[in-house]
C-alpha cells in the first residue's frame, strides 16, 4: 500500500474543488474585469470566494487580497508593509524559524537599509513573549511570526504576541504566516491582533497557485505588483478565477466539522509519535514537555541517528511511504535546516531528520504502514552506514 505523509508540502485537491475549477475553465471562463455577462459571472466567483473567506475569518470581504500563493502573500505583507511605513522606522522583528518566503524578503529589505532582529526559540520551537517584548523598539514598524512552523509543527502564542506588541506600540504591523495553520487552527485575525495574515490554498486541499493575504482595514501596505489595478490596485493582474473558485470550495470543506478533523489528526499524530518513540535511536523533535494538543496536529519531525535523511527518505519511498526531509522549499536550499539548529538539535541529527505530515484523508492504516516500514528499514540502513 501507499502512505502519502507529505501533506505539509502539498495536499491532493478535494474532488469538489476539481469540479468547480473545471466548470470555470470550460464554461465560465470570462475575465472578471470584462463588462459583459461572461465577465460578470467570473467576477461573481471572485466575490463569493472573498465573502466566504471573510465569514470564516470574521473579517470584511474587502480585507482579502487574492495572491498566487503563500510566497507572494508573505512578500506582499513584508515588503509592502515595510515600504509603506518606512517613515516611522526601519526596524523589523521576526524569529529564526520562519519559512524562506519570510526570511528571503527580509534579507532583501536588509539590503535596502532595514534592520531585522531574528529572535531565538526554545527546544519546543516557541518564541517567548519576553523575548518579543525586549526586541520591540521605538523604530519597530513590523513584527512577523509564523503561526505553525512548517518543519517541526510548533505553535506560536499569536494572540498573546499580538496583544502585547500593540500595547507597546499601537502602530506596529503584526504579520502572521498562517500557511500551515489555516484549516487546522481556529483563526480570527481581529481577536488575535493580527494585521496581515498569509494563506496558501494547496496546503488544505485547494489548488496550487492561489492563496490570499488578509490586510486589516487601516493597515498600511504598498502593492508590489503594478499594472491593471485589479483588487483595488493592491494586486494587479487578472485574477486566477478557477483557482479562486477552488479555494472557496476548499475553505468551506476544510472548515466543516473542523473540531472533529483536528481530533482525527491529533490521533494520527499520537499514533506516529508513540510508534517512533518505541524505536531505538529515534528522536521526535520539539515535543519534550509539550502536550500534543498544543502542537500542530498534522506535523511530526523525527531524527534517525546514524542514517542520512535523504537515504531514509528514498528507502521509505521504495516502500510506498512518502515523506519529506524538511520544508518542501528546502530542496532549493540544500544547507542544513535553520529551524532544527534553532531548536538545538544536535549535529548528529541535523542531516538525519524527516518530516511526516497528515491530512484529513490520512488513515490509521497508512501511519501503521509507515511505522512498519521504518521499523524494518532502520537496522538494515544502519548496518550499511559508514562510520
Helix axes 70-84, 100-111, angle to 10 degrees: 30
Euclidean distance between CA atoms 303 and 336, whole angstroms: 13
> In the structure grid, which three cell numbers stand for residue 30, read together?
470570462
On whether the CB atoms of residues 177 and 74 are closer than 8 A, the answer is: yes
Q: Give the separation between CA 217 and CA 64, rounded to whole angstroms.
A: 10
- Contact (CB, 8 A) for 20 and 249: yes
Q: Considering Cα of 160, then 165, then 167, then 171, what sign does the dihedral take?
A: negative
Round to whole Å and give the CA distance between 37 and 28.
Answer: 10
The verdict on whether 329 is a catalytic residue reads yes
Check 329, 350, 368, 381 and give the catalytic one: 329
Of 10, 99, 94, 128, whose CA–CA distance to 337 is shortest? 99
Distance of CA 221 to the CA centre of its chain: 21
Cβ–Cβ < 8 Å for 301, 284: yes
Catalytic positions, please? 329
Amino acid at each position: 500500500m501507499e502512505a502519502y505523509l507529505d501533506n505539509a508540502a502539498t495536499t491532493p485537491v478535494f474532488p469538489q474543488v476539481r469540479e468547480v475549477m473545471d466548470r470555470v475553465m470550460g464554461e465560465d471562463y470570462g475575465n472578471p474585469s470584462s463588462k459583459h455577462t461572461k465577465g460578470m459571472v467570473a467576477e461573481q466567483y471572485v466575490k463569493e470566494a472573498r465573502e466566504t473567506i471573510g465569514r470564516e475569518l470574521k473579517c470584511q470581504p474587502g480585507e482579502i487580497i487574492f495572491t498566487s500563493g503563500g510566497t507572494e502573500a508573505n512578500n506582499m505583507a513584508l515588503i509592502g508593509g515595510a515600504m509603506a511605513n518606512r517613515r516611522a522606522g526601519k526596524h523589523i522583528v521576526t524569529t529564526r524559524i520562519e519559512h524562506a518566503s519570510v526570511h528571503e524578503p527580509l534579507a532583501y529589505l536588509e539590503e535596502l537599509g532595514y534592520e531585522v532582529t531574528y529572535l531565538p526559540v526554545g527546544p519546543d520551537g516557541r518564541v517567548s513573549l519576553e523575548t518579543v517584548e525586549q526586541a520591540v523598539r521605538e523604530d519597530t514598524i513590523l513584527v512577523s511570526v509564523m503561526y505553525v512552523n512548517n518543519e517541526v509543527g510548533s505553535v506560536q502564542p499569536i494572540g498573546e504576541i499580538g496583544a502585547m506588541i500593540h500595547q507597546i506600540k499601537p502602530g506596529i504591523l503584526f504579520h502572521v504566516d498562517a500557511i500551515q495553520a489555516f484549516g487546522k487552527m481556529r483563526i480570527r485575525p481581529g481577536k488575535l491582533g493580527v494585521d496581515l495574515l498569509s494563506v496558501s490554498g494547496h496546503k488544505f486541499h485547494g489548488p496550487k497557485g492561489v492563496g490570499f493575504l488578509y490586510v486589516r482595514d487601516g493597515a498600511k501596505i504598498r502593492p508590489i505588483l503594478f499594472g491593471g489595478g485589479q483588487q483595488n490596485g493592491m494586486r494587479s493582474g487578472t485574477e486566477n478565477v478557477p483557482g479562486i473558485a477552488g479555494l472557496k470550495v476548499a475553505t468551506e470543506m476544510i472548515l466543516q466539522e473542523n473540531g472533529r478533523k483536528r481530533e482525527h489528526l491529533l490521533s494520527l499524530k499520537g499514533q506516529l509519535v508513540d510508534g517512533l518513540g518505541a524505536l531505538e535511536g529515534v528522536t521526535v523533535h520539539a515535543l519534550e514537555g509539550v502536550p500534543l494538543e498544543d502542537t500542530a496536529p498534522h506535523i511530526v519531525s523525527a531524527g534517525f541517528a546514524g542514517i542520512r535523511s535523504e537515504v531514509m527518505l528514498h528507502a521509505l519511498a521504495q516502500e510506498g511511504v512518502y515523506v519529506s526531509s524538511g520544508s518542501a522549499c528546502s530542496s532549493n536550499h540544500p544547507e542544513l535546516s535553520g529551524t532544527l539548529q534553532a531548536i538545538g538539535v544536535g549535529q548528529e541529527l541535523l542531516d538525519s531528520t524527516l518530516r511526516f505530515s497528515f491530512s484529513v484523508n490520512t488513515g490509521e492504516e497508512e501511519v501503521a504502514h509507515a511505522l512498519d516500514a521504518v521499523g524494518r528499514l532502520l537496522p538494515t540502513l544502519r548496518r550499511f552506514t559508514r562510520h
